Amino acid sequence: MATLRVVVLCILPLLIFPYFVFGDSLKGKVLVVTTPLSEPFHSLKSDHTERTGNDKYEGFIMDMLAELATRLECKFSVHLVPDNRYGAYDPDTKSWTGMIAEVLSGAADMAVGDMTITAKREEAVDFTVPFLHVGLTALYKKPMWARRWKAPVYSVEDLFKQNNVNFGVYCCGSSRAFFASSKGLLPTKINEKMEENPEVYTESNLEGVQRVLDGDGDYVYFMESSSAEYHVNNHCQLATVGKPLDSKGYGIALQQGSPYREEVNLALLQLREEGVLELIKSKWWNRNKDVCQNDWTQSLWNFLPSF
């Protein structure tokens, strides 16, 4: 019996500690949120220098947080992650970068952005249920806007067969990690090709999109399907091809053991089931869609096979 009391006394603080640190409900609380700049998820308003606080920002993330704040009866204070990175582990320093580092250090209560849920990140933080499902896809410049290719393009495999086409991906996130660790034949070949020329890696997705736009069909950029869809809607020269190479989700990261996780999960599930998240996505993804739909080259593209 004495041994049992000792065990209980040792375990009890561990069980109740999170509630002293975090509190047992989000109601009435103000949570600090870290997020990167990444259109259309999160961006600065055109007149942001004249605004303060959350009012400086706009995008999918801000609208989603507003919905969560209403349902959870809390407030969010948003700031930009200093290095504009999502979160990668450095085995040499045994430390994390980006939003994951901010959550771990306590500089932020949660990280919200187009950040992929991965096994490695889950070792450091707790993720909510996904608020958006995505897959890795290839973004390229339509042949009518660039040099003609030697064969029709209907898949990523067809792109790989083209002469003098380089593949690129964001240098420091889950997309590059996918190619580096994949056992699939095609991703492995693409990874080998990219590793031969490290200049194909970018410091941001926007840089990758711009390199595709500036090129002559000689650069293909891999990015997550949701972002690729947005840029295709905003740039008539761009297109995606084939099925996504993988399947994953974006989630909100919180400190491990946070009791807020279940509350946020429930609210996210409600938003998804009620179609609110899809409405928010449609609002930000389709703002300039008519530009390409009304473009004569787009009309011609719709009647032609890729070539």
Which pLDDT score, from 0 to 100, does residue 9 have?
52
pTM over 0.75: yes
- Predicted confidence band at 21 (pLDDT cuts at 50, 70, 90)? very low
Distance of CA 216 to the CA centre of its chain: 27
Least confident of 237-241, 243-247, 290-294: 290-294
Which pLDDT score, from 0 to 100, does residue 214 have?
95
pLDDT in tens, 40-92: 999 999 999 999 999 999 999 999 999 999 999 999 999 999 999 999 999 99
Q: What does the pLDDT average to over 247-261?
A: 96
Query: Which residue matches tokens 């950040």?
Result: 115
| In contact, 225 and 136? CB cutoff 8 Å | yes
pLDDT higher than threshold 60 for residue 13: no
Q: Indicate the burial class of 188 (C-beta count within 10 angstroms; 0-12, 13-18, 19 or more).
A: middle
Contacts of 226 (CB under 8 A, 6+ apart): 114, 132, 134, 250, 281, 285
Identify which of 190, 184, 278, 273 has the alpha carbon closest to the alpha carbon of residue 229.
Answer: 278
Which pLDDT score, from 0 to 100, does residue 14 have?
47
Exposure on the CB side of residue 176, measured as CA atoms within 13 A: 19
The beta-strand segments (E) located in 27-74 are: 30-35, 43-44, 57-58
pLDDT in tens, 202-211: 999 999 999 9
What one-character DSSP code corresponds to residue 236?
Answer: T
Give CA–CA dist 281/208, Å, rounded. Answer: 22
